[in-house]
Structure 1
Amino acid sequence: MQDTETFLRAFNEAFAREDVDTIMSSVTDDIRFRMASETGIEGKPAFEKMLREMSASGCIFNLEIFDVVVAGDRAVVNGEMTLKENKDGPVRAYAFCDLYQLRDGKIAETIAYGMEMGDKP
């Protein structure tokens, strides 16, 4: 089994690739996910629905992870993500910090904080 830091890096990279199957295999059946400014999503079916809708957007993502901090069954990942809504669109940059609760080698809860940083040249 891979270590927690490697697991979380791979999970975040799967988000950037919109790899729903990898994401779904990384979470518990009772996953709780929420963006800090929104009401949460509970359970795998609702989480998968959100991911499939997100992956249908056609956005092009790029990810840079700065830090992964693991303390027992809790972890934090922060970095930057850029996205283009289409190949000719502007590049938008976001800073993110995700908080994780882990259980049995999977993600049981995620709270995602994000802040738009504006256009990148």
Structure 2
Amino acid sequence: MDNKSILKTANIAITNGDYEVFLSHCTDDTIWNFIGDKTLHGKESVRKYIEDTYLEPPKFEVENLIAEDDFVTAIGKISLKENGQYKSYLYCDIWRFRDGKMAELKAFVI
């Protein structure tokens, strides 16, 4: 599978609540950098973030997926359930892939 297809497959898993399937597409040493907020180091840190943040599976509306070399950029909207209601955010995620897995994320969320 190419990197763009891997990201699409991983996102389907996360929206279905299949978080371990999603994590199987990440490297063990994955780094998630939420620009201006926090950085997560390693799959266990990401697993904890998902458990704490995704009380219900998020909803994605991907507007664009742009792939080149080891990078895939996803631009769109994500809705997360907070205090019983979904709240929407705009995002731009830049994923770096290594050996067919998601190794690094730079997330810009508004």
The verdict on a shared fold, with TM-score over 0.5 as the criterion, is yes
* TM-align CA RMSD: 1.8
The yes-or-no answer on 1:3 pairing with 2:8 is: no
Q: Which moved more, 1:104-113 or 1:12-21?
A: 12-21
> Do 2:3 and 2:70's aligned partners in 1 also have CA atoms closer than 8 Å?
no
The residue number in structure 2 matching 1:74 is 71
Q: Which amino acid aligns with 1:97?
A: C
* Residues 84 and 39 (structure 1), Cα distance of their counterparts in 2 relative to 1, 3 Å cut: closer
Aligned equivalent of 2:104, options 101, 104, 109 = 109
Q: Which amino acid aligns with 1:111?
A: K
Say if 2:29 is the partner of 1:30.
Answer: yes
| Paired-residue identity, % | 26
Query: Any conservation in 2 of the 1:62–1:82 contact (CA below 8 Å)?
Result: yes
1:65-103 CA-partner distances (Å, limit 9, x unpaired): 1111111111101111223432xx3x4221111001100
> How many corresponding residue pairs?
109
Tell me the distance in 1 between the aligned counterparts of 2:48 and 2:57.
19
Structure (1 or 2) with the larger CA radius of gyration: 1
Question: 5+ residue gaps in structure 1?
Answer: 116-121
Unaligned runs of 5+ in 2: none
Shift of 1:46: 1.5
Cα distance in 1, alignment partners of residues 98 and 12 from structure 2: 20
SS in 1 for 2:14: helix
Task: Calculate the TM-score normalised by the size of structure 2.
Answer: 0.85
- Aligned match of 2:50: 51
Once the two structures are superposed, the pairs formed by residues 76-91 of structure 1 within 5 Å of their partners are 76-85=73-82, 86=84, 89=85, 91=86
Rounded to whole Å, the distance in 1 between the matches of 2:17 and 2:88 is 17
Higher relative contact order (CA 8 A, sep 6+): 2
Deviations 1:13-47 (A, max 9, x none): 33333421012101111100121122311112212
SS at match of 1:15: helix
Give the match's secondary structure for 1:22: helix
TM (normalized to structure 1)? 0.78
